[in-house]
Structure 1
Amino acid sequence: MTTTVLAHGLGGSTDLPIPFTYALIGAAWALTFTFAVVALAWRKPKFDTARPGRALPAAVTRVVDATATRWVLTALTLVLTAWVAMAAFFGPQNSDNALPGVFYVLLWVGLVALSLVFGPVWRVISPVRALHRITGRPSVGRSYPDRLGYWPAAAGLFAFVWLELASPDPGSLPAIRTWLLIYLGITLVGTLWCGTRWCARADPFEVYSVVASRLSPMRRNADGRIAIGNPFDHLGTLPVRPGIVAVLSVLLGSTAFDSFSATPSFRNFSDRVTDSAVTASLLRTAGLLLFAVVVAVSFTLAARCTGGVDPQQRRELPGKMAHSLIPIVIGYVFAHYLTYLVERGQEAIIRLADPLGHGWNVLGLADNEVSYVLSMHPAVGATLKVGFVVAGHIAGVIAAHDRSLALLPRAHQVTGQLAMMLVMVGYTFMGLYLLFGG
């Protein structure tokens, strides 16, 4: 089976479009569940961010936190980074290079999967943090400004999705190498200047990992023990800082735009109004920005659309409700990129086994063949796509409902969340429509 290289260098959302019937069923379930929650669900908050999880055996925490473990992971991180760099700069300068698969699949989608299972893993496998651990140098400047919040991370995430979805040549090895070098340079300088707080708040991949990890059952109790608990208790621990709505809007809006840009109507329109790669890139950039802005504006207005709160509380509501977008973002990411992760991920790992194209066979991986399990079973893929979108919607509605009960005055606890529920239904309908329309 051959792979088609499309706009973002690896394939498009049209790989496994969902049937129209599946989209209707998913939309009906989403709509029914949403209003059932508003009308019939619990009337007092059930989720508690301070509730401890079930602690794992103390030995697990000791092993994870052991100095030897941290140094082994640091060494493995730097070795893997050097291995990918070797492929990027000295490997085959064509479609056989492992870099695009590592960048667009293993890093972008695989990071979400790992963070859902293990927690914010980028804190452990970040090459910049690894270098900082080795040098042990304190910051040389002042502390990270609180007013910046997550805005640098939002800008970095937008830069990533721009390269993938709107740049003139997303699959270009020089373009990916340049992006990564700029990212490493900025992150290294920021870490030297502000310490690891820069990584925690400005590194787009670490913030992305933290966002995804808030839906993980794995967490730390107040005493530092690693524990397993209710993901909805953990979801509410997302730090509320300036720019958090922008981060989630970029993640959700970019995924929606990727599906939209694959529709025949957009492609035909783009062919009519653009006459060069540059003008096509400008059009896609405008579309990408528009989708992110629409998500941010609609969510902000819906969060603020309630009575019984003062102006200060109204301004704070979008940030305090932002965690409810995380399940929707993750559900749509997996619905959209599942084929990438399962099939293109295999390709990337196999190519990494021979980074220079010299016939190496590291760990016996180079002789393996890709299993196109989802492409060969489209009904399974379509069902999973709808399931991810609807499950993400349901989890988001539950989180928004519970937080509304905690934040809104009793007289406005039902009417105050209607706008938010309608917006979430709109996100879900649009997601299903775009997955079908692609």
Structure 2
Amino acid sequence: MTPAGFAAHGVGGATDLPIPFIYAMVGASWALTISFAVLALAWKEPRFTSADDLETATPPPPARRPFVALIGLLLTGWVLLALYGGPDDASNGGVQAFYILVWVGLVPLALLAGHVWRDLSPWRTVAGDGIWAYPERLGYWPAAAGLFGFVWLELASSDPGSVEAVRRWVAIYAIAMLLGGLAFGQRWFDRADPFDVYSGLVAHLSPFVRNGRWGLYNPLRTLPTVPVAPGLVAVLAVLLGSTAYDSFSASPFWQSRTLTSAQHSAVLLVFCMVVGILFILAATATGGVDRSERRRLPGLLAHSLVPIVVGYVFAHYLTYLLEKGQAAFFALLDPLDRGWAPLGDPSVTYVLSEHTSTLAAIKVSCVVIGHVLAVVAAHDRALAVLPAAHRLSGQLAMLVLMVAYTFTGLYLLFSV
């Protein structure tokens, strides 16, 4: 039985009102207009990437900062103390931090501070250089599996709010990261740690940090530097498909049905697979390329999904982070449930839910901005990788797909 106070997302579902129909339609109309304008009227030669850039190795990341690594160890220890030493109900600060501050908070953290997760990761801190070389043929597939394991726990398991279930998941995750790090060194985390990989992808969209260096950067120039490896499309398909499923599962149509955990799991998997399969089909729907080049196209264009993922995460989870995140923070101040209140009587401020029109505008803006950035990124990369005779026609399927993603995202936000 689900403990009181727990629901979808493990710590209570989103409290947002549906976005008004007019906001959804205006957003979709702008997305369509800008998309076609970019494709038909924008630059005819790549501005942010070139064919030569695709063959250039990504520069090695800067050395990890020991002070930040120490902060990561302390924060991890505090959250684990709350998770394993706290109460077995909804007030457990570790569970709230796991679902809200870690999973959702990772996205704005990476946008503002770059791939700081790399410095904060306690597993990287305790891992050495490894015994063996990481098998590159595995690529990002371990991270994709880990991400699906997380979203399954959050969205499709029989009791996502179970403190014991979260404890087991975190224990398995920690053991896998420690053993993988000892075996394969730092490369393991670049490809197999679901949170590390997620943070690294979003960090490529940061306008403030590039490869560990602070400044002002054009994210359209850093986004194409996402390292391409097997499983990259699967990672992004899980992130986008699970968020879409989250909205769909909150709809009256879905809530009215009594389904088993296995059925929820199957539908979640279908959402992720459909997102990935459609992207692969759209990326390869071009002429003028041979079989080997066609196989490379989904990976070369996969970075264009990152803005859509980020935009939809903000649209769907912003109030979840800003409002339920306050409750998670207060719960962490009392990790062992001893009645500690160092900041006095905690009170959650509902900064967005009380301003529904503003919230609706933010939701639509996030989806549309993410879509437009994705179209521009895909357009620019297509100019670099497609034959000159197919640079326009080869992008049409991808444009239709991204418009479909946008309409679907807005519809799901509107329908719940």
The superposition leaves residues 165-215 of structure 1 with CA deviations (integer Å, 9 ceiling, x where unpaired) of: 000000111111110000000010000001111011100010000110010
Task: Tell me the equivalent position of 2:113.
Answer: 118
- Please, which moves more after superposition, 111-120 or 81-90? 81-90
1:72 to 67, 76, 85: 67
- State the 1:10 CA deviation: 2.4
Q: Are residue 288 (structure 1) and residue 283 (structure 2) matched?
A: no
Q: Which runs of 5+ in 1 are unaligned?
A: 52-63, 275-279
Instruction: Indicate how the Cα distance of structure 1 residues 423 and 143 shifts in structure 2: closer, same or farther if over 3 A, else same.
Output: same
Amino acid at match of 1:342: L
Which secondary structure does the structure 1 equivalent of 2:245 belong to?
Answer: helix
Amino acid at match of 1:313: E
Q: Are residue 369 (structure 1) and residue 347 (structure 2) matched?
A: yes
Q: In 2, distance between residues paired with 1:4 and 1:231?
A: 39
Which secondary structure does the structure 2 equivalent of 1:167 belong to?
Answer: coil
Q: In 2, distance between residues paired with 1:226 and 1:117?
A: 10
Instruction: Indicate how the Cα distance of structure 1 residues 66 and 292 shifts in structure 2: closer, same or farther if over 3 A, else same.
Output: closer
8 Å contact from structure 1 (residues 13, 435) kept in 2: no
Q: In 2, distance between residues paired with 1:65 and 1:432?
A: 39
Q: Are residue 318 (structure 1) and residue 298 (structure 2) matched?
A: yes
Q: Are residue 412 (structure 1) and residue 409 (structure 2) matched?
A: no
Amino acid at match of 2:130: S
- Please, which moves more after superposition, 40-49 or 402-411? 40-49
Amino acid at match of 1:231: P
1:334 to 314, 320, 338: 314
2:129 to 129, 138, 150: 138
The superposition leaves residues 377-431 of structure 1 with CA deviations (integer Å, 9 ceiling, x where unpaired) of: 1111111110100000000001011111111111111111000000000000000
8 Å contact from structure 1 (residues 9, 171) kept in 2: yes
Q: In 1, distance between residues paired with 2:414 and 2:210?
A: 40
Task: Tell me the equivalent position of 1:400.
Answer: 378
Task: Tell me the equivalent position of 1:23.
Answer: 24
Q: In 2, distance between residues paired with 1:15 and 1:6?
A: 15
**RMSD (CA atoms):** 1.9
Task: Tell me the equivalent position of 1:159.
Answer: 149
- State the 1:4 CA deviation: 5.6
Q: In 2, distance between residues paired with 1:385 and 1:225?
A: 30
* Matching of residues 42-53 of structure 1 within 5 Å: 42-48=43-49
1:207 to 194, 197, 203: 197
- State the 1:220 CA deviation: 4.2
Q: Are residue 104 (structure 1) and residue 92 (structure 2) matched?
A: no
8 Å contact from structure 1 (residues 7, 165) kept in 2: yes
Q: In 2, distance between residues paired with 1:339 and 1:95?
A: 19
Task: Tell me the equivalent position of 2:57.
Answer: none
Task: Tell me the equivalent position of 1:190.
Answer: 180
1:128 to 110, 123, 128: 123
Task: Tell me the equivalent position of 1:56.
Answer: none
8 Å contact from structure 2 (residues 49, 384) kept in 1: no
2:246 to 258, 279, 290: 258
Q: In 2, distance between residues paired with 1:65 and 1:390?
A: 34
The superposition leaves residues 104-148 of structure 1 with CA deviations (integer Å, 9 ceiling, x where unpaired) of: 11001111111011111211111111223xxxx4323x2100100
Amino acid at match of 1:389: V
8 Å contact from structure 2 (residues 315, 364) kept in 1: yes
- State the 1:81 CA deviation: 1.5
- State the 1:309 CA deviation: 1.0
Amino acid at match of 2:148: F
2:369 to 360, 367, 391: 391
Q: Which runs of 5+ in 2 are unaligned?
A: 54-60
Q: Are residue 82 (structure 1) and residue 73 (structure 2) matched?
A: no
- Please, which moves more after superposition, 17-26 or 391-400? 17-26
Which secondary structure does the structure 2 equivalent of 1:228 belong to?
Answer: coil
Q: Are residue 178 (structure 1) and residue 168 (structure 2) matched?
A: yes
- State the 1:46 CA deviation: 1.1
Q: In 2, distance between residues paired with 1:338 and 1:283?
A: 28
Q: In 1, distance between residues paired with 2:405 and 2:290?
A: 28
Q: In 1, distance between residues paired with 2:335 and 2:77?
A: 11
Q: In 1, distance between residues paired with 2:63 and 2:254?
A: 53
- State the 1:65 CA deviation: 7.2
Instruction: Indicate how the Cα distance of structure 1 residues 407 and 341 shifts in structure 2: closer, same or farther if over 3 A, else same.
Output: same
- State the 1:433 CA deviation: 0.3
Amino acid at match of 1:216: S
8 Å contact from structure 1 (residues 92, 356) kept in 2: yes
- Give TM-score scaled by structure 1 length: 0.89
Q: In 2, distance between residues paired with 1:130 and 1:84?
A: 17
Paired residue total: 405
8 Å contact from structure 2 (residues 15, 353) kept in 1: no
Which secondary structure does the structure 2 equivalent of 1:171 belong to?
Answer: coil
Amino acid at match of 2:239: L
Amino acid at match of 1:153: A
Q: In 1, distance between residues paired with 2:71 and 2:110?
A: 18
Instruction: Indicate how the Cα distance of structure 1 residues 284 and 372 shifts in structure 2: closer, same or farther if over 3 A, else same.
Output: same
Q: In 2, distance between residues paired with 1:73 and 1:39?
A: 46
8 Å contact from structure 2 (residues 208, 215) kept in 1: yes
Instruction: Indicate how the Cα distance of structure 1 residues 234 and 204 shifts in structure 2: closer, same or farther if over 3 A, else same.
Output: same
